Structure 1
Amino acid sequence: MAQRPSEEPRDVVVVTGAGGMGTAIARRLGSGRTLFLADASRGQLDRTVAALRAEGYAAHGVLTDISDRAAVEKLAQTAAGEGKVVAVAHTAGVSASIASARTILEVDLLGTVHVIDAFETVAGRGTALVAVSSMAGHYASLSPEEEAALATAPAEELLSLPVVTAVGDDSLRAYMVAKRANHVRVEAAALAWNLRGARINTVSPGVVSTAMSKAEAESPHGGHMLKMLDDCGAGRTGTPGEIADAVAFLTGPQAQFITGTDLLVDGGQAAWVRRHMRH
């Protein structure tokens, strides 16, 4: 009988967010790897981990509120303790239709910075992080000075920046600023990640068919967003699988020279807004 080789630690994949997009990415990246799934909802997390385990994935759930820096640091250390972290897909977030401006800033803006900072400390040669932002970040009209502040301010100072406090109670504005901050934060982080032999990028989905996008579609501006999909020629929403494919590309060997940038996956909607929409 052939002898089994000694067990070596598997490569590790971390996915924040156990919703439709996070689950699709976990399935796409998790085969043959140790998979850590993080979410702030215990029920959602347990259901998703159970489903993945039933499908043969070596999945583990870690209850994590990404707005809590210590919790994210613990997640990073836990994952790194199980093997080499080869991919991090950060999908956890809230939307403008269901969350207050304050929550959006704490989760989508500050939480993303926590993920970038915490996983930088455990990143090594070949590690790739992809933060899922949004095409909404491409609609934010910020000055170079405001973007520079969002890109480089220490995490503890972010929520007190004038560009952040100026959003007030406007959830949609908070969402656009947070998602643009994701873009510029990743641009600024690329140097430190490069020096570790690692890469970092964002993906900006358009309207994708998830539970969160369903809530968006039913919000006051949802009909406008869906009409824009027809007007731009896409004629449909995206699928979680298409976002998972984009993340797989950016974390895979074909993208080893791609870092510090954003990939729009929106069916051409942002391009239509810029070049064809009558303002």
Structure 2
Amino acid sequence: MVGLPYDVRREVVVVTGAGGIGTAVARRLGSGRTLFLADASRGQLDRTVATLRAEGYEAQGVVIDVCDRASVRKLAETAAGEGPLAAVVHTAGVCAAIASARTNFEVNMVGTAHVIDCFEAVATRGTSLVCIAGVAGHYATLSEEDESALATTPAEELLDLDVVAAAGDDAVPAYIVSNRAVQVRVQAAALAWNLRGARVNSVSPGAVVTAMTTAEADSVYGEHLRKMLDDCGAGRAATPAEIADVVAFLAGPEARYVTGTDLVVDGGQSAWVRRH
């Protein structure tokens, strides 16, 4: 039997994080594709996968720990074995309101490094990786040396950096620096991904209506967050679907010449901070 000249298997989409943004992205990108949804929480994962399957998606749930390189590598290899890897969207992350300084660095920074590295190993022509960072990363005031270290230090050595130690036990600077790490690691990874015919970008949302943002709004940071949204003129937080639309652009053919960059989606919050 003569083989077909193309891979007839469904394209594969991988989404890490089964929260609000992750679920919205899964719905936006998963139609007609094999969808892998990965999360650390079995309960959250099972509920989300069941909902997506009921809506007609071919969804599979995978429990992973992004802080564990072997766990991320297994996900990457399993997904790549199912068919052409079209898109990987890394939404798993924490914030200062719900996690310690150490956890912010482990999940946001080291976890993202693992995702970039492990999926680069299986990326093929056309694969697009989008990492969700946070607009807070653009508020970091770091030396060129510190930014270079965040961008290029091997994942297993990141927690030993001086810039990490400088945050101490304060979750706020840890959140800011860990998000900056996501942005600069994406920049540094662009060459390797380009050489595979693949792309890697990040999206830095401002406030988004998710369970994590609700926790932040109910915390000591809530008043500041609400005032910022009012003062910048946005008057509201984004919906997860609005972030998913931006991710879909970066993951799709319209952005085939966009790689190694960060797209801020914050309703003008960072513009207001800088200019007003």
Distance 1:132 1:51 in 2: 23
Q: Residue 216 of structure 1 aligns to which amino acid in structure 2? A: E
Q: Residue 251 of structure 1 aligns to which amino acid in structure 2? A: A
In structure 2, the residue matched to 1:254 is 254
Residue 50, structure 1, aligned to residue 53, structure 2: no
* Pairing of 1:187-266 with structure 2 (within 5 A): 187-266=187-266
* Pairing of 1:18-29 with structure 2 (within 5 A): 18-29=18-29
* Pairing of 1:151-170 with structure 2 (within 5 A): 151-170=151-170
Please state whether the residue corresponding to 1:86 is helix, strand or coil: strand
Residue 124, structure 1, aligned to residue 124, structure 2: yes
Please state whether the residue corresponding to 1:14 is helix, strand or coil: strand
Distance 1:160 1:103 in 2: 14
Q: Residue 104 of structure 1 aligns to which amino acid in structure 2? A: N
Distance 1:159 1:75 in 2: 23
Offset of 1:8 from its aligned partner? 2.8
Distance 2:195 2:165 in 1: 33
In structure 1, the residue matched to 2:3 is none
Distance 1:46 1:221 in 2: 31
* Pairing of 1:89-168 with structure 2 (within 5 A): 89-168=89-168
Q: Residue 254 of structure 2 aligns to which amino acid in structure 1? A: Q
Residue 171, structure 1, aligned to residue 171, structure 2: yes
Distance 2:88 2:8 in 1: 21
Q: Deviations over 1:220-255 (max 9, x none)?
A: 112111111110111111000000000000000100
Gaps of 5+ in 1: 1-6
Distance 1:94 1:235 in 2: 24
Q: Residue 95 of structure 2 aligns to which amino acid in structure 1? A: S
Gaps of 5+ in 2: 1-6
* Pairing of 1:65-80 with structure 2 (within 5 A): 65-80=65-80
Please state whether the residue corresponding to 1:263 is helix, strand or coil: strand
In structure 1, the residue matched to 2:4 is none
Q: Deviations over 1:112-137 (max 9, x none)?
A: 00000000001010000000000010
Offset of 1:71 from its aligned partner? 0.1
Residue 10, structure 1, aligned to residue 10, structure 2: yes
Distance 2:120 2:170 in 1: 32
Distance 1:21 1:68 in 2: 22
Offset of 1:95 from its aligned partner? 1.3
Please state whether the residue corresponding to 2:131 is helix, strand or coil: strand
Distance 1:266 1:192 in 2: 29
In structure 2, the residue matched to 1:275 is 275
Q: Residue 73 of structure 1 aligns to which amino acid in structure 2? A: R
Please state whether the residue corresponding to 2:260 is helix, strand or coil: coil
Q: What count of residue pairs does the alignment treat as equivalent? A: 271
Q: Deviations over 1:155-188 (max 9, x none)?
A: 1111001001111101011000000000000000
Distance 2:156 2:10 in 1: 35
Could you state the TM-score of these two structures normalised by the residue count of structure 1? Answer: 0.96
Distance 2:139 2:221 in 1: 15
Q: Residue 239 of structure 1 aligns to which amino acid in structure 2? A: T
Q: RMSD over aligned Cα, in angstroms?
A: 1.1
